[in-house]
Structure 1
Amino acid sequence: MLYLCLKYLHIIAAIFLFGFGMGSYLYLIAASRTANPQVIAHVARTVVQFDTWITTPAGFIQIATGYLLLKLAGLPPTTEWIMTSLIIFLCVGALWLPVLVLQKRLYVMASSAVGDGRALDDRYSSVYQKWFWMGVFGFLGMFVIVLIMVTKMTPRQWIELLTG
């Protein structure tokens, strides 16, 4: 029963990590496309709050429950599909802190523009582009991790299966 409860928490945390992360990402993209600093400031503030208080803790829950599931199942962390997913998870996680910092910068830039009654400048676009592409690579990694978790196969094994 403990294993099933942990697995449930692991899946719920994945849903929160992926769902809130993707939702925040898409909302900030949509807000940025308006070029309206007031809209962007409001959305960016909310995105920073959600990512700080919901998405980030979900990532830590993923780590904790994943580790406990490994222990209960008696699987070594060096199992190929587990090691591959951990490496990708660490890569995605390494993008996460810079993404949070960039989101905060986008919020500050938009709020400053609102306060000064001016439009956003090229610095916003530059920070936004970095944030956008980090998000693309982060979510690609998350898609791969979910596929690994569901299939218990690495990308190399998928290729072998499809080509062999």
Structure 2
Amino acid sequence: MAFEDLLRLLHVLGATVLFGTGIGIAFFMVMAERTRDPRIIAHVAGIVVIADTVFTATATFLQPLTGYILARMIGWPFEEGWLVLSFALYVLTGLFWLPVVWIQFRLRDLAKRSVAEDTPLPADFDRLYRIWFACGFPAFASVIAIFWLMLTKPDITLS
């Protein structure tokens, strides 16, 4: 396998991990929250925090690295419209993902506290959960748009 092929594979695997882990985390967090059971939420949120740390953070670092090296090897100019837009959407995704990570830690901790104190989930939990949920839509839309840009490489002129 040529080095370029290996990089393409790593880039595709990284994108798969980012999207797959993200959608999986979202699904399990939503399903856990629907129970309103602090024990279930604390457990699931604990796993989510680990998954985001192990998988998403690693792929988040490797994606731009493999993308940069691939673009250099192939000879794509970095001012190419679809590449610029891909980079901008990647940054936008990160701007939504970073608060989500912090919120997931807080949701986990609030649920753990409810378990320890044998109390219902506090109002802060619901407020943070709504923010967490809302952040997912632009982040996932951006990732899907990046997939489309990478697959189609449209001729986009930036002024």
TM superposition score category, shorter chain reference: over 0.9
Residue 136 of structure 2 corresponds to 135
Deviation, 1:94, is 1.3
Deviation, 1:26, is 0.9
Cα separation, 2, equivalents of 1:42 and 1:97: 21
Residue 75 of structure 1 corresponds to 76
Moved over 2 A (4+): none
Which 5+ residue runs of structure 1 have no aligned equivalent?
Answer: 158-164
Residue 162 of structure 1 corresponds to none
Cα separation, 2, equivalents of 1:100 and 1:38: 20
Residue 44 of structure 1 corresponds to 45
Cα separation, 2, equivalents of 1:23 and 1:148: 23
Residue 125 of structure 1 corresponds to 126
Whether 2:94 is the aligned partner of 1:89: answer no
Residue 148 of structure 1 corresponds to 149
Counterpart secondary structure, 1:75: coil
Cα separation, 1, equivalents of 2:130 and 2:64: 29
Counterpart secondary structure, 1:78: coil
Deviation, 1:121, is 2.0
Residue 33 of structure 1 corresponds to 34
Q: Give TM-score, length-normalised by structure 1.
A: 0.92
Cα separation, 2, equivalents of 1:101 and 1:153: 35
Residue 57 of structure 1 corresponds to 58
Amino acid of the residue matched to residue 151 of structure 1? T
Deviation, 1:122, is 1.6
Cα separation, 2, equivalents of 1:33 and 1:77: 44
| Residues 53-72 of structure 1, C-alpha deviations (whole Å, 9 max, x = no match) | 11111011111100000110
Deviation, 1:96, is 1.4
Cα separation, 1, equivalents of 2:148 and 2:134: 21
Amino acid of the residue matched to residue 43 of structure 1? V
Counterpart secondary structure, 1:45: helix
Which 5+ residue runs of structure 2 have no aligned equivalent?
Answer: none
| Residues 69-120 of structure 1, C-alpha deviations (whole Å, 9 max, x = no match) | 0110011111000000100000101111111000000000000000000111
Whether 2:112 is the aligned partner of 1:111: answer yes
Amino acid of the residue matched to residue 67 of structure 2? G
Residue 17 of structure 1 corresponds to 18
Whether 2:82 is the aligned partner of 1:101: answer no
Deviation, 1:153, is 2.0
Counterpart secondary structure, 2:78: coil
What fraction of aligned residue pairs are identical, expressed as a percent?
35
CA RMSD of aligned residues (A): 1.2
Residue 9 of structure 2 corresponds to 8
Deviation, 1:137, is 1.2
Counterpart secondary structure, 2:69: helix
